[in-house]
Amino acid sequence: EVQLVESGGGLVKPGGSLRLSCAASGFTFNSYTMNWVRQAPGKGLEWVSSISSSSNYIYYADSVKGRFTISRDNAKNSLFLQMNSLRAEDTAIYYCARAHDSTVVVSAVDIWGQGTMVTVTS
């Protein structure tokens, strides 16, 4: 079964840091571009970052650029999001999501994790 399981969310003060992880199983992780998408409480979906299969291509939303770093460990089938200088507006559920087409760098998302909640508050 194809599965993505996020972890690492929690409560953090403004200016603090957090590292999210996403454990992948049931597919050849090193062939797929992976993504982070977030959703603030009661709000819509917001794309955060994408990383290609071999980490050659990395993209960020302007709202997180310079503060967040996406990375992956293909040997451990894991995706990460290092979040620094956190702000209240970063409060959201963070979803890990797989791109459906392993033959291209950019394609639509097909599989989503269950999400991990990040709350930034003093």
Partner 1 sequence: DIQMTQSPSSLSASVGDRVTITCRASQGISNYVAWFQQKPGKAPKSLIYTASTLQGGVPSKFSGSGSGTDFTLTISSLQPEDFATYYCQQYNSFPWTFGQGTKVEIK
- The residue within the footprint of partner 1, chosen from 47, 84, 91, 119 (CB under 8 A), is 47
- Residue 40 contacts partner 1 per CB under 8 A: no
Q: Nearest-CA neighbor of 37 among 75, 13, 63?
A: 63
Q: Report the amino acid identity of residue 43.
A: K
Beta partners for residue 118, in sequence order: 10, 92
Beta partners for residue 70, in sequence order: 81
Q: C-alpha 17: how far from its chain's center? A: 15
What span, in angstroms and rounded, lies between the C-alpha atoms of 111 and 19? 21
Of residues 7-26, which lie at the interface with partner 1 (CB under 8 A)? none
Looking at beta carbons only, is 13 or 65 nearer to partner 1? 65
- The residue within the footprint of partner 1, chosen from 56, 103, 108, 122 (CB under 8 A), is 108
Show the tokens assigned to 120.
């930034």
- The residue within the footprint of partner 1, chosen from 59, 77, 87, 102 (CB under 8 A), is 59
Q: How many residues bind partner 1 (CB under 8 A)?
A: 21
Which residues in this chain contact partner 1 in the complex, by CB under 8 A? 37, 44-47, 50, 59, 61-62, 95, 100, 106-115
